[in-house]
Structure formats: C-alpha cells, structure tokens
Amino acid sequence: MDLVDDDAEHRDVPIVASAVSAKRTVGAEVNAEGFVVAVRFLKDAVRQWDSYTLGRRAVQVADVAHDRYLANLGDSNGAARPTKESVATAERNLNF
C-alpha cells in the first residue's frame, strides 16, 4: 500500500512494507533495509490527540510495519520472526 501521492521527492526510497491503523488515521512505511522511512497522519482526527498519544500511536503503527517487513523476509534460519498472520492481527488491533 502506498501512503503518499506521486510526489517525486518520496519516490527515491522503495517501500517494501507498510501498515495502517484500523480507522486509517495513521500509516507507516518501511524501506528495503528495514528502516521506517515515513509515518503519515491520514485524517484530521489526529489533531484532537495530545502529543503523547500521537507519538505512541505513530510508534505502534511503525512497529507493525517493521514486523511486516520481517515477516516478508522469508526463511529465518532459526531466528524468531513474526508471522504474516500475527502481523495482520496486530494491524487489526490498531484501533485508532
């Protein structure tokens, strides 16, 4: 899922994983190196949140996007990685 418009400035970094909260208020994107490169506030409802809530929710969505990146890597060679199912459940639980 691409969270940004076709802005050339944002096309320099390929996005390989993303997550969006259940009410589509916050989204995050991860690049091919596994770094969160964008957190987007998608609805004006976020203007009603205090700074602590805003930051906590941004981190929660970014965590799920990063977990999706890890789940999509494939064979873990014994390393503990989240499953695609657990990531989908975590994304559904982002109830904001």
Helix (H) or strand (E) holding 11: none
Confidence of residue 78 (pLDDT cuts 50, 70, 90): confident
- 71 contact partners, CB below 8 Å, separation of at least 6: 81, 82, 83, 84, 86, 87
Domains along the chain?
8-92 (3.30.1310)
Could you tell me which residue, 39 or 10, shows the higher pLDDT? 39
Q: Are 30 and 68 in contact (CB under 8 A)?
A: yes
User: Residues in the chain, how many?
Assistant: 96
State residue 75's pLDDT score. Answer: 76
Q: Are 21 and 61 in contact (CB under 8 A)?
A: yes
State residue 11's pLDDT score. Answer: 62
Confidence of residue 5 (pLDDT cuts 50, 70, 90): low
Residues in a beta bridge with 20: 27
pTM of the model as a whole: 0.86
